[in-house]
Structure 1
């Protein structure tokens, strides 16, 4: 069976909803796991669950990126 695009790459669809502009990132940890919270300028909250080591590594990168935007 051949794919519908016959092996040719398709153009990416345009995003209808713009990506949020994040203004804050926080890390919550417990014995059962970790969660990263990202707050957008428009008030939307994104929550990401991860193991403690991955969450700490990710949040440090996020904090550095947010600080560099100031």
Structure 2
């Protein structure tokens, strides 16, 4: 049986991480490439993207659990 609270929490986390990813992407657009600030924004965007995908998979797996 799935756990609705776990699905809700993982889905919310994925949503927030997607927004964080978008924020880092927007920041990156205003920075010169090959600079330290750009690299930090790029790193943040990549990490947020990975965690968002992980949370989405976790929510889907929990939702489909029988």
The TM-score, its normalising length taken from structure 2, stands at 0.43
Higher relative contact order (CA 8 A, sep 6+): 2
Q: Which has the larger share of strand?
A: 1
The TM-score, its normalising length taken from structure 1, stands at 0.40
Higher CA-based Rg: 1
